[in-house]
Amino acid sequence: MDLTIYLSFIGVSLLLIIAPGPDNIFVMAQSISYGKKEGIATACGLCSGVTIHTLAASIGLSAILYKSDVAFSILKYLGAFYLLYLAYQAFRSSSEVGSFTKPKKQTLPALYRRGFLMNVLNPKVSLFFLAFLPQFIDKNGISVPLQMIILGLTFMVLTLLIFSIIAIFAGSLGEKLLQNAKSSRIINLAQGTIFTGIGLKLFFMNK
């Protein structure tokens, strides 16, 4: 692989990861609500989803998804309904007496699965990798699928690094906010609103 192309890929990837988007906002919301470790677990789930999309792009499954309106719609609606279900849980927690002191604790595996499903069930991520990775392929280098896998794994590592930093800072903020009963309820409402917004955006999304 060409080193110059690879370094430019890293630079562009960092800009894309840092830019405000559904995934980093999702990590921030989970970290504020549940803590630093829980936020990192969510980030690990999201990043694991990146490996699925990378493999799909490298072996051509993403191209099939792009061409099939039915497959795209099924994946899109599954993702949207899952996010709306998470929103429902957050809103329900905000109305429960116990949530006025602190959101219900979530296990690390549960938050990992939450991040993984959110990423995998978003067809836009597959189409993004299908369009993004080939721009940094060296035609004179090693096999194209292998280059795409290397680029995808690099993107995953960079994403995990940035999201972990977000989780640590957001988790510290959450620890202070959750000391106040009123803030705890507001956090649940905000989390539900974020999930609703992302879910509706995915529901009405077109290719």
Task: Determine the pLDDT at residue 164.
Answer: 95
pTM of the model: 0.77
- DSSP characters for 22-85? HHHHHHHHHHHHH-HHHHHHHHHHHHHHHHHHHHHHHHTHHHHHHH-HHHHHHHHHHHHHHHHH
Task: Determine the pLDDT at residue 40.
Answer: 95
Task: Determine the pLDDT at residue 100.
Answer: 43
pLDDT per residue as tens digits for the range 14-37: 988 988 788 888 899 889 888 899
Task: Determine the pLDDT at residue 200.
Answer: 84
pLDDT per residue as tens digits for the range 178-207: 666 566 677 677 777 877 887 787 778 775
Q: Does residue 12 register a pLDDT over 60? A: yes
pLDDT per residue as tens digits for the range 32-53: 888 899 999 999 999 998 888 8
pLDDT per residue as tens digits for the range 130-187: 778 888 888 787 888 888 889 999 999 999 999 999 999 998 888 777 666 566 677 6
Q: DSSP letter for 103, please.
A: P
Residue 97 has φ and ψ, to the nearest 5°, of: -60, -40
Find the length of the chain: 207
- 97 falls in which pLDDT band (50, 70, 90)? very low
Task: Determine the pLDDT at residue 184.
Answer: 64
Closest to 134 in 3D by CA, of 40, 54, 198, 46 = 54
pLDDT per residue as tens digits for the range 56-73: 887 776 666 567 777 778
Task: Determine the pLDDT at residue 101.
Answer: 47
Task: Determine the pLDDT at residue 191.
Answer: 72
- 87 or 90: which carries more pLDDT confidence? 87
Task: Determine the pLDDT at residue 99.
Answer: 43
C-beta pairs of 172-181 under 8 Å, 24+ apart in sequence: 172/36, 173/32, 174/31, 174/32, 174/33, 174/34, 174/35, 175/35, 177/32, 178/102, 178/103, 181/100, 181/101
